Amino acid sequence: MKRMLATAAIGLAFGASAALAQTQDQTGSQENPVASESDSCQVISPELTQRLAEEPERRAEFSAQLSRDLRFMRNTALQLERYGHTEACNAVAEAIQEMIDNPAEYREVAAQSQIAGTAATDLAAQPDLTWEERQELRREEAQPITQLESRLRAGDLIGADVRGNDGDSLGEVDDLIFGQSAEESWVIVSYGGFLGFGQDLSAVPFDRVEVTPDLNTIYVPLTQSQLEDAPTFSRGDLEMLSDPEWQERNEQFYSQTQ
């Protein structure tokens, strides 16, 4: 029953996302004309976000594909709430909660979905691998982002899972900034909570980032504890990236990471 609920909500999330995108294109507005102040949908509770932030071993139970799917569902639920569809938002939020409580049950489903949607790789050719073996193989397949043979678009990586040297999930890709060189290009990573909208953003230089062939996971040369010292900036404050003093401090920090 729980699996059926989650599956139905995933279908609802994808269908609602497409419908909302079409509505937004037609109206040209993101205003919510019907939402009531008395209605509310709590997609991710603060208590859950704090618990996951404080338990890196629990965050490590979520595969990259499962994390990305959950973030997609989170964004869809928030859009549903914005448009006043509180009941639908609550249905997606309930499925999200169920999947977060039982990641082992759903990460294999996510892995099979990932295999079906990617080109043939060592990972896809060995579907019987355990989750831990698959994660290790994914790390071995990762290559520097600057060495990708195909052209990279921001949409290919936004929302991707960000993992550190120890394999723990650290956050998600919030944006990409492309400059005239790798030194002037950054992967903007959102930290500060699994599935929550992280308040802390860090600009990781392109030449310090590795990415898996399916573009679902990037690896940065940091651990959870090192994040406390990483230069950060506030959401929407991209002017910080043009500050020479900040750039020097950011480059110095990442040049020392392994």
Least Cα distance to 166 among 210, 220, 93, 213 occurs for 220
Q: Residue 65: its pLDDT value, please?
A: 80
Give a yes or no: residue 124 inside a domain: no
**Helical (H) or strand (E) element with 172:** strand 169-177
Which residue among 50, 82, 113 closes a domain?
113
Give a yes or no: residue 10 inside a domain: yes
Q: Are residues 182 and 248 in the same domain?
A: yes
Q: Residue 151: its pLDDT value, please?
A: 76
Give the Cβ contact number of residue 35 at 10 Å.
16
Q: How many domains does the chain have?
A: 2
Give a yes or no: residue 157 inside a domain: yes
CATH of the domain at 224: 2.30.30.240
SS3 content of the chain, % helix, strand, coil (to 5): 55, 10, 35
Least Cα distance to 218 among 177, 170, 149, 147 occurs for 170
**Helical (H) or strand (E) element with 123:** helix 122-125
Q: Are residues 151 and 217 in the same domain?
A: yes
Token pair listed for 20: 């909302």
Give me the domain span that covers residue 92. 2-30+38-113
- According to DSSP, residue 184 is labeled G
Q: Is the pLDDT of residue 22 over 60?
A: no
Interval 30-48: pLDDT, tens: 343 333 333 588 887 777 7
Interval 66-92: pLDDT, tens: 888 888 888 899 899 999 999 999 999
Give a yes or no: residue 118 inside a domain: no
Interval 122-147: pLDDT, tens: 554 566 777 677 778 888 889 998 88
d(CA 239, CA 131): 41
Q: Residue 131: its pLDDT value, please?
A: 64
Q: Are residues 188 and 243 in the same domain?
A: yes
